Amino acid sequence: MEPHVANVGIATIQEPVRGELDQAFDRLQSIATADFPLIDDVNAHLQRRKGKMFRPTLLLLSARSAGTLTEREIVLSAIVELIHLATLIHDDSVDHSVLRRGQPSVNAQFSHEIAVIMGDYLYSRAIHELVLLDAREPLRIMSRVTNELTVGEMREVVAHDFLDFSEDDYEQLIQAKTASLMSGACEIGALVSGDTYREPLKRFGRYLGMAFQITDDLLDYTESEAVTGKPAAQDLREHKITLPLIAALPNMTAAERAQVEALMAHPDPSDDLIATVIHAVDQRGGIAAAREAARAFALRAEVELACLAPSPAKDALLAGIAYAIARRH
Ligand code: FPP
Ligand code: MG
């Protein structure tokens, strides 16, 4: 069964909170500003490419569909995006990735040292802002989430044995590194309803995040750099084991497994070897299985929204599910 909403672009999903989202972006810029030239050079570099603002969109739509959206939620959504940005800066440094959002990553444009410090700077600015807001529950949620993010990143760093990395391990990893923040964004938005919608929206964000990350991992197999704004097949190049490979492995021939083994053993696998493994993963059903897994999480996300009263914001959250699994970048 397909989630029953049509495929739409991010701009349509953002429609019910367009004005608030623009304010959140302005707010994000002013929170990030520092009285220090190098930090502002990095800020200027980062702000050249805005990003999809998907997490603040989730927070604002959750708030609007659960109750009344106020100035406080706008600031909270800016904080969530800042934390996301900080994690991406660190992640690109950890991954040695040179491209993000179609432009050089901070580690590539500046240095790894600057990427580490800038990630810390933005993260600490975000936390400071939460304290200034006196936002106790959001602070509780975000401190748990950021802790989970770091453990997720650590899980990924050590996950290199492709024969010993199960689908369960993978789910635990993407829960920690992606679903946790989306879930936290939705939960913070839902706080406008007290506890009424808190748990269902928290779960919605989690399932949506799982579907979103599985799709992200699929795009690494299926799309070019020109489409995603990130290097193609970067995961395999870095020996990252994601669902398409995990699902295909049991169906592979001994020769195909040997090619996977060769790729994983090579510090800098050739484009040919990568293309061969991608082909085998597709042939052995890995791409189809990952698509199916994303769809299954999307359906679970949809079920969680049933408790909300009809509204344009709820429709946009539903459309967000379709976006998470149908996007190409
Ligand atoms: C991207 O994964 C990684 C994350 C979203 C999590 C990164 C988390 C940290 C670096 C630790 C927490 C840091 C702070 C500041 C609290 P990916 O490499 O699969 O995605 P990509 O393809 O977009 O690079
Ligand atoms: Mg990365």
**Residue 92 CA to ligand 2 centre (angstroms):** 5
pLDDT at 159: 85
The tokens describing 101, both together, are: 């959002």
| Residue among 89, 124, 177 to mutate when testing ligand 1 (max atoms within 8 A of CB) | 177
Comparing CA positions, the residue from 240, 233, 231, 185 lying closest to residue 208 is 185
Give the span between the Cα atoms of 67 and 50, in whole angstroms: 28
Give the span between the Cα atoms of 239 and 262, in whole angstroms: 11
Ligand nearest to the CA of 153: 1
Ligand nearest to the CA of 90: 1
Judge if the beta carbon of residue 178 lies within 6 A of ligand 1.
yes
Distances (CA, A) of 203 to 154, 179, 244: 24, 9, 24
pLDDT at 234: 87
- Average confidence (pLDDT) per 10 residues, the chain, 329 residues: 59 97 97 96 93 96 98 98 98 92 95 98 97 96 97 90 90 97 98 98 98 96 76 86 97 97 95 94 97 98 98 98 87
Judge if the beta carbon of residue 302 lies within 6 A of ligand 1.
no
pLDDT at 5: 46
Give the span between the Cα atoms of 205 and 133, in whole angstroms: 23
**Residue 306 CA to ligand 1 centre (angstroms):** 31
Closest-CA residue, ligand 1 atom 16, reads 146
Ligand nearest to the CA of 126: 1
Distances (CA, A) of 73 to 53, 91, 106, 129, 158: 14, 27, 29, 13, 36
Judge if the beta carbon of residue 177 lies within 6 A of ligand 1.
yes
Judge if the beta carbon of residue 224 lies within 6 A of ligand 1.
no
* Contacts with 86 (C-beta within 8 Å, 6 or more apart), sequence order: 118, 119, 120, 121, 122, 123, 126
pLDDT at 262: 96
Judge if the beta carbon of residue 146 lies within 6 A of ligand 1.
yes
